[in-house]
Amino acid sequence: MEGEKNQEFNRSDQPTSRLARPTGRQACEVYSRVVGYIRPVASWNPGKQSEYKDRLTYKVCQDSGA
């Protein structure tokens, strides 16, 4: 149906706008390391915040040494 591509559904299967802020929820503060200091991402300058969005994360697996 036309117009549905801009809708998401909540737990009660009722359509909700993607721009609608969920009620009863609180924003989560994200921390990350920059130059050795762990700081809230929201307190970074706009350039660092933009770089943070482009970061890739890696998972390091340790060999069992068999």
pLDDT in tens, 20-64: 666 777 788 888 877 778 888 888 889 988 988 898 888 888 877
The mean per-residue pLDDT over the stretch 9-18 comes to 54
pLDDT at 17: 54
Q: b vs e for 30-55, b when ≥16 Cβ sit within 10 Å of the residue's Cβ?
A: eeeeeeeeeeeeeeeeeeeeeeeeee
Prediction pTM value: 0.41
In which band, very low, low, confident or very high, does the pLDDT at 65 lie, cut at 50, 70 and 90?
low
pLDDT at 2: 46
- Give Cβ neighbours of residue 22 (< 8 Å, ≥ 6 apart): 10
Per DSSP, the residues of the chain read: -TTGGGEEE-TTS-EEETTSPPTT--PPPPEEEETTEEEEGGGS-HHHHHHHHH-----PPPP---
